[in-house]
Amino acid sequence: MADKIEQARSFLEGLARYHVRDDDLLLEAINLRQGSEQRVALLGRALLEYVILDDWYSTGASKATGDALLKSISGIDNLASIARLHGIERFIFPHGGQKGVPLGRTSLSDTVKALIAAVYLDSGKDMDLVRSLVAALGLTEPRALP
């Protein structure tokens, strides 16, 4: 268990230059066994959508453009692709039914969102840090999916 937490910590330190203080928050984000990542993933989704829409709003683009950005950037397929790109699956604790099989896109997507929320909570709700993490993950603009 400590090894996966350390891998997740190293990932966040390397990618976002953020040192996690609370291992319990990090564990909540990467542990699919308890289902607790769903709570933190819900918060992460809202944070990610806020960053996307805050950037969109200042452009003056149409609502349709904002909706398209949300769908493209924060969609399950894109977030799962981002998780795979960064090797996030290596430090996820899968639930019992996932042992020995590749993690599904929903689990990968939820973990990305949960990591965003864990950093937000762990940092004392620092939105600048959330923005930095979102950018470092490559979630600031739509991209072609593999």
Alpha-helical (H) ranges within 17-139 are 23-30, 37-57, 63-74, 76-86, 105-122, 127-137
Give the pLDDT score at 96.
62
Give the pLDDT score at 143.
60
Give the pLDDT score at 146.
46
Q: Is the pTM of this model over 0.85?
A: yes
Contact 40, 118 (CB under 8 A): yes
Please determine, for residue 33, whether its predicted confidence score (pLDDT) is greater than 90: no
Contact 22, 99 (CB under 8 A): no
CATH 1.10.1520.10 fits 2-137, yes or no: yes
Question: Two tokens at 138?
Answer: 């490559």
For the chain, the distance separating the N- and C-terminal CA atoms, rounded to the nearest angstrom, is 31
